[in-house]
A and B are shown apart, each in its own frame.
Chain A
């Protein structure tokens, strides 16, 4: 009985609440209308947009172009709001563009959690499965905090050739209206969150090379430093509006390189840094003598599928629009990945008699890596060529070259991401097709696009883009290798070493560093 009264009371309150709110609004409305006339007197005189201007703005939305009525002239616009006191215009995002961008951001996060966590988790020994997951999750939170504090600003605010300014610190000014430097129709906060997912997955890739033998505290400190020394500068140079190597969008770029979704920013930086770190770290105890097979190829394959699906957000989402460029990127990504996942196991079948599931998975990931810088700049045929190359060259590195040099790149981050990313950056310069991306084409009339101003369009038309790519590759290599070497030794000095004790390493990181085991048999054993 008491309970019935309680529920009745709660329902009544919930039903009356909206009425109370409406009553509030009703009482407020007259007050607002009495203020309006005074505000209208102070507002600048703006003409209403003509029907043609309004249609042109809607066309601009569909074609991912700039608005006509953009608040800089005396024409009002329906696609945004005005602050009359400040006489400023805040453009609205386009719902279609924002939907795809938000979806893409979720897809790229999915690549890390749980895609990469499962892919790497399945490849390590049972006693270390949770350490991989803890590292992925830690990086997610840590990078997000850095991104909010100053990371987004250091990459995407204008400031300098090598690093951005701090104007967007704490995401000040980063709201739901588009930032015209990067998109006319995607909310800047959405764009920031999207780019955050890239900033998260890049250091997470490094985990693969140093798996099973780096202590958690050392990983944490290393990753914090690495973001500042390597990732933020590299991302700014390639993608920042005044970046040194932003060939597509910076009219003053000195290296006219192109990197659609992060062949240099994500794969080269993480892959080459992984190599340096795994050499400095040293090999796992028992490497070469004890068996260290993947403890679950099932988890690894599940993770691979998630990586592939999520990568559509990574690649096609890098168009920052749901336009013709994104559509092409979606297509080339699919072709390259599927072809590479076919070619790699075929190489295995020919050379050692059996195609393996790890071969299918590695082929798919390699294809995804190599097409990453190229996806929005090559045509479908280029995508297929890239797929074939991705199934052969990284395979060769993992299968043969690693053995020749003897370094312990536990999960082949170098073999797949460094080699794949470098090759992808180069192939982008060779296979580029300006027909699939108008931003690379020579502008015949004003306003001239940045690629025309800085010479990129001309270089691409004369098949010399590969040389600019080589320059970008060189600078990326130096930054990653030198940066990582310095950071590794700093962390080693500060924390008294990078490795756990021998006892911890042999027993497994999960129990010693996280107090947990990944699996228990019946009876809690």
Chain B
């Protein structure tokens, strides 16, 4: 985590807040987003396969005359926790890399993180992310 301080910081306070970014993106954009974040020094993330929809329509499957409308589309959910100071660049990188301009590109959500702990060293706060 090159962009973070190496000193053990106290728990999140008013100046050094941590933020969580959840990004729902199209699955084929994952590599691009991962590389874009890497380019600005953000290397750690959690990824899960999810299904969902917003305004994008689903598809129809037909099995021997039985028709099923499937609303849910496969997406990738990306979660990263970073220091406050990196928030704007990270969000911009994700949006730029994940955008295709078509319906179904996804969404980015930002929330505050109260605490973060690195399990191996038991560091807390900024040092943990």
Considering the complex, which residues of chain B in the window 41-76 have a beta carbon less than 8 Å from any beta carbon of chain A? Answer: 61-66, 68, 70
- Interface contact A356-B62, CB-CB below 8 Å: yes
CB distance from A180 to the nearest CB of B (A): 46
- Interface contact A402-B63, CB-CB below 8 Å: no
- Interface contact A362-B61, CB-CB below 8 Å: no
Total interface residues in chain B, CB < 8 Å: 8
Pick the contact of B65 from A292, A293, A294, A400 — CB < 8 Å?
A400
- Interface contact A398-B62, CB-CB below 8 Å: no
CB distance from A373 to the nearest CB of B (A): 23
Q: Is A291 an interface residue (CB 8 A)?
A: yes
The CA-CA distance from A291 to B70 in the complex, in Å, is 8
- Interface contact B68-A291, CB-CB below 8 Å: yes
Q: Is A403 an interface residue (CB 8 A)?
A: yes
CB distance from A283 to the nearest CB of B (A): 12
Pick the contact of A403 from B63, B65, B68, B70 — CB < 8 Å?
B65
Q: Is A519 an interface residue (CB 8 A)?
A: no
Closest A residue to B62 using CB positions:
A352
Q: Chain A, 462-488, contact with B by CB distance < 8 Å: what is the 0/1 string?
A: 000000000000000000000000000
Q: Is A399 an interface residue (CB 8 A)?
A: yes
The CA-CA distance from A88 to B61 in the complex, in Å, is 67
CB-CB < 8 A to A412: which residues of B? 64
Closest B residue to A416 using CB positions:
B64
CB-CB < 8 A to A399: which residues of B? 64-65
CB-CB < 8 A to A356: which residues of B? 62-63
The CA-CA distance from A292 to B69 in the complex, in Å, is 11
Closest A residue to B61 using CB positions:
A293
Closest A residue to B70 using CB positions:
A291
- Interface contact A293-B63, CB-CB below 8 Å: yes
CB distance from B58 to the nearest CB of A (A): 11
CB-CB < 8 A to B70: which residues of A? 291
- Interface contact B63-A294, CB-CB below 8 Å: yes
- Interface contact B64-A292, CB-CB below 8 Å: no
CB-CB < 8 A to A398: which residues of B? 64-65
Secondary structure type dominating chain B contacts: strand
Q: Is A358 an interface residue (CB 8 A)?
A: yes
CB-CB < 8 A to B66: which residues of A? 292
- Interface contact A402-B68, CB-CB below 8 Å: no
The CA-CA distance from A294 to B63 in the complex, in Å, is 8
- Interface contact A402-B61, CB-CB below 8 Å: no
- Interface contact A358-B63, CB-CB below 8 Å: yes
CB distance from A397 to the nearest CB of B (A): 9
Closest B residue to A410 using CB positions:
B66
CB-CB < 8 A to B64: which residues of A? 358-359, 362, 398-399, 412, 415
Considering the complex, which residues of chain A in the window 353-385 have a beta carbon less than 8 Å from any beta carbon of chain B? Answer: 354, 356, 358-359, 362
Question: By CB atoms of chain A within 10 A, which of B61, B62, B63 has the most?
Answer: B63
The CA-CA distance from A415 to B63 in the complex, in Å, is 13
CB-CB < 8 A to B63: which residues of A? 293-294, 356, 358
The CA-CA distance from A358 to B62 in the complex, in Å, is 9
The CA-CA distance from A33 to B107 in the complex, in Å, is 96
CB distance from A355 to the nearest CB of B (A): 11
CB-CB < 8 A to A352: which residues of B? 62
Closest B residue to A359 using CB positions:
B64
CB distance from B68 to the nearest CB of A (A): 5
The CA-CA distance from A398 to B63 in the complex, in Å, is 10
CB-CB < 8 A to A292: which residues of B? 66, 68
The CA-CA distance from A352 to B62 in the complex, in Å, is 9
The CA-CA distance from A412 to B65 in the complex, in Å, is 10
CB-CB < 8 A to A293: which residues of B? 61, 63, 68
The CA-CA distance from A356 to B61 in the complex, in Å, is 10
CB distance from A123 to the nearest CB of B (A): 8
Closest A residue to B65 using CB positions:
A399
The CA-CA distance from A258 to B70 in the complex, in Å, is 47
Q: Chain A, 393-410, contact with B by CB distance < 8 Å: what is the 0/1 string?
A: 000001110110000000
The CA-CA distance from A402 to B64 in the complex, in Å, is 10
Closest B residue to A403 using CB positions:
B65
CB distance from A274 to the nearest CB of B (A): 15
The CA-CA distance from A354 to B68 in the complex, in Å, is 15
The CA-CA distance from A85 to B3 in the complex, in Å, is 101
CB distance from B36 to the nearest CB of A (A): 29
The CA-CA distance from A354 to B64 in the complex, in Å, is 12
The CA-CA distance from A400 to B64 in the complex, in Å, is 9
Closest B residue to A294 using CB positions:
B63
Closest A residue to B72 using CB positions:
A291
The CA-CA distance from A356 to B63 in the complex, in Å, is 8
CB distance from A228 to the nearest CB of B (A): 33
Closest B residue to A397 using CB positions:
B65
CB distance from B102 to the nearest CB of A (A): 23
The CA-CA distance from A137 to B61 in the complex, in Å, is 31
The CA-CA distance from A399 to B64 in the complex, in Å, is 5
Q: Please name 19 pairs of A and B residues whose Cβ atoms are closer than 8 Å in the assembled complex, sorted by A.
A: A291-B70, A292-B66, A293-B63, A293-B68, A294-B63, A352-B62, A354-B62, A358-B63, A358-B64, A359-B64, A362-B64, A398-B65, A399-B64, A399-B65, A400-B65, A402-B65, A403-B65, A412-B64, A415-B64
Which residues of A approach B to under 8 Å, CB–CB?
Answer: 291-294, 352, 354, 356, 358-359, 362, 398-400, 402-403, 412, 415
Known: A400-B65, A415-B64. 8 other contacts (CB 8 A): A291-B68, A292-B66, A293-B61, A293-B63, A294-B63, A354-B62, A398-B65, A412-B64
Which residues of B approach A to under 8 Å, CB–CB?
Answer: 61-66, 68, 70
* Interface pairs A-B: 4 shortest CB-CB: A399-B65, A398-B64, A291-B68, A398-B65
